Amino acid sequence: MTTEFLQRIRKEISVTQDTVREVIIGLSERVNRKVQTLKLHWRAASLSDQRESVLQELGAYLATLLAQASGLPERDSERQGAEARLVEATTRVRGLKKESMQIDALVRELEADTLREDLVRIQQDLTVRAATLERISVARGSAVLDQPVSQLSLPPATRVVAVCRGPAFLVVDQQLVLRAGDIVILIGPRAELKTAVSQFLEPQRVSA
């Protein structure tokens, strides 16, 4: 009996240590992503300042050149110099813009990783409580079409938490009218969501 009890304690301690280790690793990865994101934002701001500086220098050069010539440059050397300066500035701006786009892509990737972690945690929290999230597209001919949120026949513990319409993220209020193609995010107990989903679908799909 004592041996079994000690083995159980060892097992629980081992599980606890593994859990703590996973939490520490998760936190360190999250902090590392935040640090990387801050560095990338700083770099993006620096690139933006550099582009602005290049354009300002080009504008000052052209203004000085035009003022000295009292109009458009007439000599070939002046025109060639202006063209070369313009090409150089354009090349630099394009290079800086390309790097900025690469940085934006990296930032989105890091933010997506963080978002996925948050969604997993949310799903775990809901699962423990026998609840979940449901993503539904409002179908043409469905019962909720052209109905405000206040008139939806939802179960007591089910709520509309978000509505996406095209590229827009809409503020959910009781007067919001649902349209075909809207993406509706519901939250609630699993048992309730099973009955709530049907009214967002076409009648023939429900009967099937």
Strands 183-189 and 168-170, bridge-based pairing? unpaired
**Which tokens go with 182?**
């809207």
The pLDDT value given to residue 130: 87
Q: Which amino acid is at 157?
A: A
| Predicted confidence (pLDDT) at residue 27 exceeds the cutoff of 80 | no
| pLDDT tens profile 108-121 | 888 777 777 777 78
Residue whose tokens read 């799909």: 205
Domain residue ranges of the chain, discontinuous segments joined by +: 2-127, 131-207
Average pLDDT, the chain: 79
| Predicted confidence (pLDDT) at residue 207 exceeds the cutoff of 50 | no
Say what percent of the chain tops pLDDT 70. Answer: 77
19 or 163, which is more confident = 163
Q: How confident is the model at residue 61 (pLDDT cuts 50, 70, 90)?
A: confident
Q: Which of 3-7, 132-136, 146-150 has the lowest mean pLDDT?
A: 3-7
pTM over 0.75? The answer is: no
Architecture of domain 131-207: 2-Layer Sandwich (3.30)
Contact 197, 136 (CB under 8 A): yes
**Which tokens go with 26?**
């998760």
The pLDDT value given to residue 176: 92
* Strand, coil or helix: 184: strand
The pLDDT value given to residue 39: 83
